[in-house]
Amino acid sequence: MNHTQSHKLFEKACRLIPGGVNSPVRAFKSVKNKPVYIVEGSGSVITDVDSNQYIDFCSSWGPLVLGHNDPDVRKALNNAAEKGLSFGTCSPYEVEMAELLKKLVPNAEMFRMVNSGTEAVMTALRMARGFTGKKYIIKFDGCYHGHSDSLLVNAGSGLLTNSVSSSAGVTEKQTAEVMSLQYGNAESIQKAFEKYPDDIAAVIIEPVAGNMGLVKPEKTFLELLRKLCTEHSSCLIFDEVITGFRFHAGAYADIAGITPDIFTFGKIIGAGMPIGAVAASEKIASCLAPLGNVYQAGTLSGNPAALAAGIAGLKKLEQLNPYPEMTRLAGIFADEVNKFAAENNIPAICVQERGVFTLFFKEGGKPENLNDVQKCNTDTFADYHNYMLEHGFYIPPSQFELNFVSAAHTEKDIRSAAECAVNFLKTLK
């Protein structure tokens, strides 16, 4: 493929934007390449400035469950935008979205709209501390909950991709009240509650980890978190920025059969528009201003255009229910790749959960935690990423991210991607 225009844009961007990108995960640094610049998306296909087309498995990092530029979402967005882009006031869309979320997430009672998943998590932690009167937060190694200061401890996503376990500019004092434990390790969480039985405000977790690649905990581990939080009057927070509405038209908590005290949602509920939400029981949510003394605000929170797009997207997902087919298609990719890798003794394994998957390049089977994930051969992944890109498949430029199947992907898309991945594996024999 010819990438002349993309490379020219990146050179110019590097003179104007730190690293040439507005989010580190786009940088292609870990795959030893330069980013391509996308100008159009339709269905499962994206097109770059050099007119190269790719079958896309990044899906704007997850929210485009319906595929790119869905006509119903676009229509709703355009209709709202014609009336105004922002008012800074209350709008009917806020009430409609809250009613819709209440229907689809019945274990939550009240919803506060924000502008991103990061904002939702910041609000959730403040709510938990304000509601419980306690100070400590427990998170898990390799889970990423946005870039707020206190949670940049052993975090995943871009921090993991760029080999940074934390961040400069974050002081020890800011992280002193956050404990990061091994994902899925029951003993460590039990010991933490034994040591601080009355001081843990919240445990926050990705119920399916998606920021160190796809890592699935045992259901018994999530059940243990629920039990410990209940016994110690701590809040259990499910960060569902990735999992919410990605596996079914609702929260992953419904699938797990476990009810957290607080949910956080992100761009999926906006069909890809900048948006987020924090959800909880009325008792917990009422601690937020103006009802309570936990302050949170946002001039653009509840933006009418973003809400209009999100409402249309969620209603269509509920009606269409593309999830079983997305699961089937992701399974085809995983099965084809795993079969070839196993038969040829190639150190690679594709882990799949419903409509998402990660191809890990490692020995010893699927990873269970961050320590396992860090044994991956990132050089091999870089070669894999660039091979797929040059053959017309856009996957996230990091070993430690998810690939997303959308309702717009066809079986032909998936089988051709699997064939391409197998062809790459052949080069490793």
Domain CATH code at residue 60: 3.90.1150.10
Decide if 144 is catalytic.
Answer: yes
What pLDDT sits at residue 168?
A: 65
Which of 424, 421, 400 minimizes the C-alpha distance to 162?
400
Residues 205 and 57 in one domain: no
Per residue, what are the HEC states of 289-329?
A: CCCCCECCCCCCCCCHHHHHHHHHHHHHHHHHCCHHHHHHH
Going from the C-alpha of 286 to that of each of 101, 112, 201, 290, 291, the distances in angstroms are 17, 10, 17, 9, 6
- Domain boundary, last residue among 319, 346, 372: 319
Digitized pLDDT (tens) for each residue of the chain, 429 residues in all: 999 999 999 999 999 999 999 999 899 999 999 999 999 999 999 999 999 999 999 999 999 999 999 999 999 999 999 999 999 999 999 999 999 999 999 999 999 999 999 999 999 999 999 999 999 999 999 898 887 766 766 544 443 333 344 556 666 777 778 888 999 999 999 999 999 999 999 999 999 999 999 999 899 999 999 999 999 999 999 999 999 999 999 999 999 999 999 999 999 999 999 999 999 999 999 999 999 999 999 999 999 999 999 999 999 999 999 999 999 999 999 999 999 999 999 999 999 999 999 999 999 899 999 999 999 999 999 999 999 999 999 999 999 999 999 999 999 999 999 999 999 999 998
Residues 342 and 390 in one domain: yes
- Domain boundary, last residue among 288, 319, 350: 319
**Domain range enclosing 387:** 4-65+322-426
Q: Rounded to an integer, what distance in angstroms lies between the CA atom of residue 26 and that of residue 5? A: 17
What pLDDT sits at residue 171?
A: 61
Residues 248 and 145 in one domain: yes
What CA dihedral angle connects 64, 69, 70 and 71, to 10 degrees? 160
- Tell me the H-state helices in 40-88: 71-83
What pLDDT sits at residue 409?
A: 98
Reported residue count of the chain is 429
Decide if 267 is catalytic.
Answer: yes
Q: Which of 56, 70, 239, 261 is catalytic?
A: 239
Residues 18 and 127 in one domain: no
On whether the pTM is more than 0.85, the answer is yes
Decide if 12 is catalytic.
Answer: no
Residues 212 and 191 in one domain: yes
Residues 164 and 36 in one domain: no
Q: Which of 139, 267, 362, 366 is catalytic?
A: 267
Q: Which residues contact 391 (CB under 8 A, 6 or more apart)?
A: 420
Residue 80: which CATH number? 3.40.640.10
Residues 266 and 141 in one domain: yes
Determine the angle formed by the axes of helices 219-231 and 186-195, rounding to 10 degrees: 10
B/e letters for 176-208, b = 16+ CB within 10 Å, e = fewer, are eebbbbbbbbeebbeebbeebeeebbbbbbbbb
Q: What is the tally of structural domains in the chain?
A: 2
Q: Which amino acid makes up residue 179?
A: M
Residues 299 and 154 in one domain: yes
Q: Rounded to an integer, what distance in angstroms lies between the CA atom of residue 407 and that of residue 411? A: 11
Residues 181 and 255 in one domain: yes
44 contacts 406 by C-beta, under 8 angstroms: yes
Residues 357 and 388 in one domain: yes
Residues 133 and 216 in one domain: yes
Q: Which of 54, 93, 136, 144 is catalytic?
A: 144
- Domain boundary, last residue among 285, 319, 353: 319
Residues 162 and 17 in one domain: no
